[in-house]
Amino acid sequence: MDLDLAQLRALAAVVAEGSFEAAARVLHVTPSAVSQRIRALESSAGRVLLVRSRPVRPTEAGRAVLRLAREVELLAAEAGRELGLDPGAGGRPPVLPVAVDADSLATWFLPALAPLAGEFCFDLRREDQARTGELLREGTVVAAVTTEAEPVAGCTSIPLGRMHYRPCATTGFAARWFPAGVGPDALGRAPVVVFDRDDDLQDTWLRRFGDLHPPRHHVPATADFGEAVRQGFGWGMLLPEQVAASAPGDLVDLDPGGGVDVALHWQRWRIRSPALDRLSDAVLAVWRSPGARGTLRG
């Protein structure tokens, strides 16, 4: 397979932007030029690499080539930096696409990246921590915060720590729905707040009481999720920071001393890359330093 950098960049741009037209704008070429490059790359690979859907997505073969395109893109940017190319004169800071769950993004992850924001551009993909590993497999991201301990093919996996969630509700909600205490009957009727339809955290705790399917409010934003619980929409699994944001006595812990721990891992591509090394060092420093760890527990 003959490799052409322009063709690989076109593939990465189409997948990242979701369409040939959007990729053309990013690459400053015409959609026809992008289409020609993709066809030439598919001809060279002898495989169809993209499903022409909306958004465009890679085929199984396309995932392998997409990962190659991302690796070449990262290494080319790093080579430009080593050669001292000015970003305005053609060199560009490396773009690091990273998958991260919403709760990590809202608590500890951005402070970990902040010292590197002047050197790299981050393309953060928010996804449930149980699904971020899939973005690694697709080649869409170079690293991910994930619940998967087993390394994705071509990646290394390092344990980060645990995020601890507690089932909480307002005192008024608890008095209305749990007057005789928390049990299967009451939990089957009491409304619950969930992040989105991929969020299994509340159900993980509920399964301790049986196969329960209470009414649900879907609130897909971390800050708004906590606010919905504080407004009495339902009970929900909250992080310590979300509990601390409430006035003392406003929230009741439905399972004192219990809750759910979610173990997180940091997975990154196993390639020699100063940019990826710097990124990993910054992320791992959060859980290595008790003062900076915040949400994460060892």
**pLDDT tens track for 148-188:** 999 998 899 999 989 999 999 999 999 999 999 999 999 99
Q: pTM of the full predicted structure?
A: 0.78
Inform me whether the pLDDT recorded for 45 exceeds 70: yes
More confident residue, 198 or 144: 144
Element (H, E) at 172: helix 171-177
Who wins on pLDDT, 139 or 33? 33
Domain boundaries, the chain: 1-85, 163-258
Handedness of CA 157, 163, 164, 170 (dihedral sign): negative
Q: What angle do CA 222, 254, 208 make, to 5 degrees?
A: 95
pLDDT value of residue 194:
96
Kindly state the average pLDDT of the residues 49-66.
90
Q: What's residue 88's pLDDT?
A: 44
CATH of domain 1-85: 1.10.10.10
Over 80: is that where the pLDDT of 11 sits? Answer: yes
Q: Taking 50 as the threshold, does the pLDDT of residue 233 lie above it?
A: yes
Indicate the SS3 state at residue 31. helix
Q: Residue 79: its pLDDT value, please?
A: 76
CA distance 289 to 286: 6
Quickly name the fold that domain 163-258 has.
Answer: D-Maltodextrin-Binding Protein; domain 2 (3.40.190)
